Structures are given as structure tokens and as C-alpha cells.
């Protein structure tokens, strides 16, 4: 791990932190529950670590841990995205008309 890479990780972290703040603070309260589910699903990105552990065959011990990790991370990812989709679909179903009328209200 070179110092160069560490510094460039620092840049990525700093930028991601700003961006995270900006993006998340713009999510309306209406969508806070889907937000929780969605970030949980995205946090399943640690799945990538478990994939390598499960496939690398370092030792039986680590393979077993890896497979359990793959299962739980996949539950998290698949379940998370699906339930978010279920929720958002409910919000979107009643979108077209209602939203227009609200915008109209604002303009008039």
C-alpha cells in the first residue's frame, strides 16, 4: 500500500463525504423509509469481499465463512432492492395526475 494510493483514497473519501451529505440531505422525509432500505442494499457491496473469500479456497474454514457471508450479503442485497422497489412502486403508481395538479397549484 503506497502512500500515493492512500492519498488518492483520501480524495475519494473526501469527495464521497461531501456528495453523500449533499445527496442524502436532499431526500424528502416522504422517502426516508425507502432510503433506509436502499442504503442497506447498497451497503451489501461488501458482498464483493465475501465472493472472493468463498471462491478462493484458502482453507475449508474460510470457504465456509465465505459461503455464509455470500448468503447473508445476497439476502441483504436482493431483499433490499426488491423491497425498495415494492415501496417505490406504491409511490409512483399514483404519480402522474396528482403531481401535475400540485405543480399547477404552485404556478397559479
Partner 1 sequence: MESKYLIEIAYVIASILFIFGLKGLSHPKSARNGMNLAAMGMLVAVVGTLLHHEIVSYTWIIVGLLVGSLIGSVMALKVSMNSLPQRQALSLAFGALAATLVGIAEYSRGDQLGAFKMTALGFEVLFGSLTIAGSVIAYAKLQELLRGTPITFKGQNIFNIALFAVTIGIFIYLIFAPENTILFYVMVGLAFLFGLLMVLPIGAADMPVVMSLMNSYAGLASAATGFALNNNVLIIAGTLDGFSGFILSILMCKAMNRSMTNVLFGAFGGASEEQQAIEGVQREVGVEDVAVQLAYARQVVIVPGYGLATAQAQHTVRELAEALEHRGVIVKYAIHPVAGRMPGHMNVLLAEANVPYSSLYELEQINSEMAATDVSVVIGANDVVNPDARDNPKSPIAGMPIIEVDKSKQVIVLKRGKGKGFSGIENPLFFKPNTGMLYGDAKASLAKLVQAVQQA
Q: Which of 8, 33, 99, 101 is the binder for a copy of itself (CB under 8 A)?
A: 8
- Asked if 25 touches partner 1 (CB under 8 A), the answer is yes
Of residues 14 through 33, those in contact with a copy of itself by CB under 8 A are: 15-16, 18-19, 22-23
State phi, psi for 14 to the nearest 5 degrees: -60, -45
Cβ distance 64 to 72 under 8 Å?
A: no
Interacting partner of 29 out of partner 1, a copy of itself, none (Cβ under 5 to 8 A depending on kind):
partner 1
Cβ distance 84 to 37 under 8 Å?
A: yes
C-alpha grid cell for residue 49?
469481499
Choose the binding region for a copy of itself from 5-13, 32-40, 59-67, 91-99 (rule: CB under 8 A).
Answer: 5-13
Amino acid at each position: 500500500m503506497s502512500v500515493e494510493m492512500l492519498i488518492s483514497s483520501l480524495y475519494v473519501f473526501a469527495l464521497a463525504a461531501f456528495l453523500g451529505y449533499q445527496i442524502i440531505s436532499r431526500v424528502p422525509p416522504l422517502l426516508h423509509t425507502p432510503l433506509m432500505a436502499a442504503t442497506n442494499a447498497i451497503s451489501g457491496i461488501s458482498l464483493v469481499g465475501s465472493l472472493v473469500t468463498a471462491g478462493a479456497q484458502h482453507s475449508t474454514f474460510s470457504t465456509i465463512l465465505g459461503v455464509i457471508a455470500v448468503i447473508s450479503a445476497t439476502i441483504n442485497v436482493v431483499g433490499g432492492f426488491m423491497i425498495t422497489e415494492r415501496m417505490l412502486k406504491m409511490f409512483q403508481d399514483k404519480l402522474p395526475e396528482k403531481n401535475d395538479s400540485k405543480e399547477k397549484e404552485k404556478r397559479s
